[in-house]
């Protein structure tokens, strides 16, 4: 029986997953460690509403378990030493240098964790890959761990995480499945069972799937590739709908009722964002290429090409509709996060749309209910399209959505926050330049209502 768990990485995955394990397994001590002192301090903030990740329901879970059997710490060595099971939940971004730049997953943080575990461990450990990794990473981790020379036995499991941001708590409490990959040896099977026993505290046994390590690693990349592919598929259709008089929402409903296709993940949008879809597909493309499977690589790369096109054409359409110039015009952005109910902005379509419009000298005003001003400038500056000063001049961040829309020539809806639907749209209209345009990148607002008020309303795919 496992009594002591450590998780390396207190991010969007490590924090919520460990909070739920701690909540559901009060007999297990769970310590989440991170090198980032600020992040750990925020997880320990006496006011639980200040934890660093916004997820509906998460602060209640943390409030229940923190200090009881859930701990956040920067003492990585100590937590590794104490634990019988160590989850690695660090970031695995796309490489920005060297071989595989812009495609392969950067595994340096994973390797650092493996080396640290190898250095510190004095008793046998089960090491669990929670991060999303290229298929066959477990063999690299094992090779590092097995060469420590201090006689400690390690078992490596793959246990990829399928939660989506914004619904992390819900997804963790009632996952469609939990996937655990491990070695077929007796020791491997024992390690798998130890992890199954933890999840079995709240997940029905039939939903806990065990496989070999490689299937588990590859299933995670495959799941994300299939999900992203659905969004790119419906987005490809949205452009055709706009040319032909078909309505993408009607098409999505019509095909989604076919039980073989299913209704979920068919919402046309300004393009998918988030830290994982693009990175994981690029990684998949890189892996396929490295085995010489060029057709496989090209097939999946098209999902990204389509997504880039969708973001770009949204910006182009704004420019074209505003009489081919947005220079000096105020464009209001409602939303910056990559989806609703999260403060995460990684790869958000809003960043790229803003970048394109700033290059056309638009003036952008942004409102997002959960994203900070600092984060928005950080995202834009990261692109290095222009100087930080120019970004500051071209874009302002306000905390009042009505101020953001005031005197604007157009509003662009970039995130599907529920509150946008409840605004006083007549009041917004009255304060805008005329004609008042709305470009709804999420098909969120009520077209009829807005057109009755007098807006020129354009959605995606109709």
Binding site for ligand NAD (CB under 6 A): 8-14, 33-36, 39, 76, 89-92, 109, 112-113, 131-132, 161, 163, 165, 275-276
**DSSP structural state of residue 105:** B
Report residue 317 as tokens.
């359409």
Q: Give the binding range for ligand UGA (CB under 6 A) out of 19-27, 48-56, 58-66, 274-282.
A: 274-282
Residue 116 · residue 144 · CB < 8 Å: no
Catalytic residue, candidates 6, 7, 241, 276? 276
The whole-angstrom distance between residue 336's C-alpha and the CA centroid of its chain comes to 14
Which residue of this chain has its Cβ atom nearest to ligand NAD in the complex?
11
Instruction: State the number of binding residues for ligand UGA (CB under 6 A).
Output: 20
Strand partners, 86: 6, 127
Using alpha carbons only, give the angle 217, 339, 287 rounded to the nearest 5 degrees: 25
Rule CB under 6 A: choose which of 267, 311, 329, 363 binds ligand UGA: 267
Rule CB under 6 A: choose which of 81, 111, 144, 162 binds ligand UGA: 162
Which of ligand UGA, ligand NAD, none binds 125 (CB below 5-8 Å, type-dependent)?
none
The whole-angstrom distance between residue 400's C-alpha and the CA centroid of its chain comes to 26
Which of ligand UGA, ligand NAD, none binds 266 (CB below 5-8 Å, type-dependent)?
ligand UGA
Question: Quick check: 366 binds ligand UGA (CB under 6 A)?
Answer: no
Question: Quick check: 227 binds ligand UGA (CB under 6 A)?
Answer: yes
Q: How far is the CB of 277 from ligand UGA (least distance, A)?
A: 6
Which of ligand NAD, ligand UGA, none binds 90 (CB below 5-8 Å, type-dependent)?
ligand NAD
Question: Quick check: 163 binds ligand UGA (CB under 6 A)?
Answer: yes
First-last CA distance in the chain:
57
Using alpha carbons only, give the angle 58, 65, 118 rounded to the nearest 5 degrees: 95
Query: Which residue, 17, 9, 60, 64, is CA-closest to 35?
Result: 9
Which of ligand UGA, ligand NAD, none binds 267 (CB below 5-8 Å, type-dependent)?
ligand UGA
User: In whole angstroms, how far apart are CA 275 and each of 69, 343, 346?
Assistant: 29, 12, 5
- Residue 113: active-site member: no
Question: Quick check: 274 binds ligand UGA (CB under 6 A)?
Answer: yes
Q: How many Å apart are CA 434 and CA 454, to the nearest integer?
A: 9
Question: Quick check: 297 binds ligand UGA (CB under 6 A)?
Answer: no
- The number of beta carbons lying within 10 Å of the beta carbon of residue 383 is 13
Using alpha carbons only, give the angle 101, 106, 111 rounded to the nearest 5 degrees: 145
Question: Quick check: 231 binds ligand UGA (CB under 6 A)?
Answer: yes
Question: Quick check: 266 binds ligand UGA (CB under 6 A)?
Answer: yes
- List active site positions: 276
């Amino acid at each position: 029986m496992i009594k002591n768990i450590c998780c390396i990485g207190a991010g969007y995955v490590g924090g919520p997953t460990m909070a739920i394990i701690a909540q559901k397994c009060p007999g297990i001590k769970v310590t989440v460690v991170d090198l980032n002192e600020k992040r750990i301090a925020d997880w320990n903030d006496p006011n639980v509403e200040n934890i660093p990740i916004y997820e509906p329901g998460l602060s209640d879970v943390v409030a229940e378990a923190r200090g009881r059997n859930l701990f956040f710490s920067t003492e990585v060595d100590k937590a590794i030493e104490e634990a019988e099971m160590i989850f690695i939940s660090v970031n695995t971004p796309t490489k920005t240098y060297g071989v595989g730049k812009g495609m392969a997953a950067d595994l340096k943080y994973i390797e650092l964790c493996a080396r640290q575990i190898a250095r510190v461990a004095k008793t046998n450990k089960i090491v669990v890959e929670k991060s999303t990794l290229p298929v066959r990473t477990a063999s690299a981790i094992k090779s590092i761990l097995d060469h420590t020379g201090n006689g400690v036995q390690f078992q490596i499991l793959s246990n990829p995480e399928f939660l989506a941001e914004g619904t992390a708590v819900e997804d963790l409490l009632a996952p469609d499945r939990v996937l655990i990959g491990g070695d077929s040896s007796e020791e491997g099977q024992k390690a798998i069972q130890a992890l199954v026993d933890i999840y079995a505290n709240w997940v029905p046994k039939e939903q806990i799937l065990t496989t070999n390590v490689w299937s588990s690693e590859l299933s995670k990349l495959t799941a994300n590739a299939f999900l992203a592919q659905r969004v790119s598929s419906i987005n490809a259709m949205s452009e055709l709908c706009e040319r032909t008089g078909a309505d993408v929402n009607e098409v999505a409903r019509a095909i989604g009722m076919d039980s073989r296709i299913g209704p979920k993940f068919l919402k046309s949008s300004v393009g998918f964002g988030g830290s994982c879809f693009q990175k994981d597909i690029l990684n998949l493309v890189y892996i396929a290429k490295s085995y010489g499977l060029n057709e496989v690589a090209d097939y999946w790369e098209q999902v990204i090409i389509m997504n880039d096109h969708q973001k770009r054409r949204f910006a182009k359409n704004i420019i074209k509709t505003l009489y081919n110039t947005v220079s000096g015009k105020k464009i209001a952005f409602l939303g910056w996060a990559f989806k609703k109910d999260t403060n995460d902005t990684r790869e958000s379509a809003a960043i790229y749309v803003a970048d394109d419009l700033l290059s056309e000298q638009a003036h952008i005003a942004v409102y997002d209910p959960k994203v900070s001003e600092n984060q928005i400038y950080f995202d834009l500056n990261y692109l290095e399209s222009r100087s930080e000063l120019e970004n500051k001049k071209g874009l302002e961040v306000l905390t009042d959505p009505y101020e953001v829309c005031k005197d604007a020539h157009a509003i662009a809806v970039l995130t599907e926050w529920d509150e946008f639907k409840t605004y006083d749209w007549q009041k917004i209209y009255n304060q805008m330049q005329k004609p008042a345009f709305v470009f709804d990148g999420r098909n969120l607002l009520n077209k009829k209502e807005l057109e009755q008020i007098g807006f020129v309303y354009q959605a995606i795919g109709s």
